[in-house]
């Protein structure tokens, strides 16, 4: 175990520029940070070093992303084709929730809009008014993203959509290990140095408790000005060396463990362009399709389900032959009280963890990197810089947490775990949002929030929580005119889906299933 030690005072470098950035840990977070910082700081002489041990495995369960990942790698100059070919990726139009509202509940949370807003009134009010006339057309019929996903079809969005009916976005399912390898090649090609070693000791400066250098297990010492902790749940720097407290959110998010296993794909089966998350008696299962295999997992509350029962439930619902034995992953939902302490910034699991229900882990890394780039310090580490970074990080984590809690709070299941989730008091920030929605069908909007109104609408509708009344502005609309307008939107979406090719046909342009070893060594 790493033991921090204190170094004698040294001459202050107050106001001087950062010279050395040291990233502790590789994996997805470490290599994302290395690649992005190498690009961002390309015109400087700042040295970037990644210290990782090939003997230490990574968690690596998160293989589903949200659309922000495509903006992240585009900033590096990488294209969708580059990344999809390098990572055995498939397309993701959203997340399909099965069993959350009850045994027959089934809905999609798409990356896109629903219908068209008119006269400053949200589309959902027109849709609800039409439903009052007996029209049972589901909300998903007005979403191109949801409709494509349900039909197993895919097309890249138009760069200039003719109307909001054509607006949707997409993300990737990819092999996270291959993605990290691709970014490692990019980073090393941009001048980043990699050191393969374990860290034996973290040396702190006596005068201020800042990290001074790392002592490796081979005796080598690595000095740095700014340290980025990507060491995973352990929090080697931010937690063990600097003693930053961890804020536990287990009272709201009771799941604390998962089993994960990979399976062979079944030849001939269509590849779904969405992540599947299926509720079970004490949590939920995921299924994530890649081109060379499928990722599977079961998230559960250890207070409500034994390890044996969890493994059995996972293995009984697999499609395809397992490629390994399932492995257990323990976690604590929550966050570091501060993500930036002294000269150490934590990214990824070192900064906090939210279960992968909405594929937020990699997006939180992306946003942490963007904040670091925007607030990149000098060696004086101005308190205002750290305070702003920490405030933005905390607000984003809390608002993402609230969105995930919402899924549990609105559930319609009857097992003990699920009844407790409905009965547990939720954060005031979430209750405020839900109360406004119920009273007025309106959305509370915050800065530093990952999920926008269309996403909240998807969960509200999918789990059966709708406003008590529609907007007064739509009450007097002529029913015939309303029906014609909405059915015109519905039919336009259906026509676009009909004219779109399958997801499998889109993937064929990347050569179908390939040898992942060969892919990972591609340029």
Assess contact for 92 and 171: CB atoms under 8 A.
yes
Assess contact for 97 and 105: CB atoms under 8 A.
yes
Q: Helices marked H in 352-409 — which ranges?
A: 361-374, 383-409
Cα atoms in the 13 Å half-sphere on the side-chain side of 89: 28
What is the rounded distance in angstroms from the CA atom of residue 148 to the CA atom of residue 155? 8
User: Which is nearest to 361 in space by CA: 68, 52, 90, 53?
Assistant: 68
Cα atoms in the 13 Å half-sphere on the side-chain side of 493: 29
Assess contact for 91 and 172: CB atoms under 8 A.
yes
What is the rounded distance in angstroms from the CA atom of residue 107 to the CA atom of residue 218? 53
What is the rounded distance in angstroms from the CA atom of residue 233 to the CA atom of residue 243? 14
Annotation says 92 is catalytic = yes
Catalytic residue among 20, 92, 203, 433: 92
User: Which residues on neighbouring strands pair with residue 277, listed in sequence order?
Assistant: 97, 286
Cα→Cα distances 379→20, 60, 345, 478, Å: 10, 33, 14, 66
**What end-to-end distance do the CA atoms of the chain give, in Å?**
37
Residues marked as catalytic: 92
């Amino acid at each position: 175990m790493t033991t921090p030690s204190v170094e004698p005072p040294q001459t202050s470098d107050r106001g001087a520029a950062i010279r050395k950035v040291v990233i502790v840990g590789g994996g997805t977070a470490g290599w994302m940070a290395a690649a992005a910082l190498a690009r961002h700081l390309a015109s400087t002489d700042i040295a970037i070093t990644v210290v990782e041990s090939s003997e230490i495995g990574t968690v690596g369960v998160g293989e589903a992303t949200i659309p922000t990942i495509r903006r992240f790698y585009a900033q590096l100059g990488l294209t969708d084709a580059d990344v999809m070919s390098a990572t055995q990726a498939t397309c993701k139009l959203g997340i399909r929730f099965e069993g959350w509202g009850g045994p027959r509940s089934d809905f999609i949370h798409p990356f896109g809009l629903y219908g068209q807003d008119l006269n400053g009134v949200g589309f959902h009010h027109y849709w609800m008014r039409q439903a009052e006339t007996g029209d049972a057309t589901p909300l998903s019929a007005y979403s191109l993203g949801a409709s494509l996903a349900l039909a197993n079809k895919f097309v890249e969005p138009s760069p200039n959509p003719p109307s909001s009916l054509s607006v949707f976005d997409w993300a990737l399912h990819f092999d996270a290990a291959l993605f990290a390898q691709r970014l490692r090649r990019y980073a090393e090609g941009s001048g980043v140095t990699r050191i393969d070693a374990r860290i034996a000791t973290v040396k702190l400066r006596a005068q201020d408790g800042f990290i001074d250098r790392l002592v490796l297990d081979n005796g080598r010492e690595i000095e740095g000005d700014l340290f980025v902790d990507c060491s995973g749940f352990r929090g080697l720097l931010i937690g063990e060396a600097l003693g930053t407290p961890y804020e536990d959110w287990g009272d709201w998010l009771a799941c604390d463990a998962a089993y994960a296993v990979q399976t062979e794909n079944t030849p001939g089966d269509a590849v779904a362009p969405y992540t599947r998350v299926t509720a079970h008696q004490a949590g939920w299962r995921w299924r994530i399709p890649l081109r060379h295999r499928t990722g599977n997992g079961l998230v559960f509350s250890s207070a409500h389900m034994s390890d044996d029962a969890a493994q059995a439930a996972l293995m009984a619902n697999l499609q395809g032959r397992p490629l390994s034995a399932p492995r257990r992953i323990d976690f604590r939902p929550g966050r570091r009280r501060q993500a930036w302490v002294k000269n150490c910034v934590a990214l990824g699991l070192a900064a906090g963890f939210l279960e992968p229900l909405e594929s937020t882990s990699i997006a939180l890394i992306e946003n942490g990197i963007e904040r670091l780039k925007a607030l990149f310090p000098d060696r004086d580490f101005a308190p205002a810089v750290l305070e702003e970074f920490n405030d933005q990080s905390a607000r984003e984590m809390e608002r993402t947490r609230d969105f995930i809690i919402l899924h549990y709070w609105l559930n319609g299941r009857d097992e003990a775990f699920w009844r407790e989730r409905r009965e547990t008091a939720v954060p005031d920030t979430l209750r405020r949002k839900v109360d406004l929605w119920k009273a007025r069908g309106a959305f509370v909007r915050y800065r530093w929030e990952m999920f926008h109104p269309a996403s909240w609408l998807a969960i509200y509708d999918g789990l059966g929580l709708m406003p008590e009344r529609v907007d007064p502005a739509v009450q007097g609309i002529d029913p015939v005119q309303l029906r014609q307008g909405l059915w015109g939107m519905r039919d336009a979406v259906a026509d676009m889906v009909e004219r779109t090719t399958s997801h499998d046909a889109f993937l064929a342009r990347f050569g179908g299933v390939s040898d992942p070893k060969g892919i990972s060594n591609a340029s």
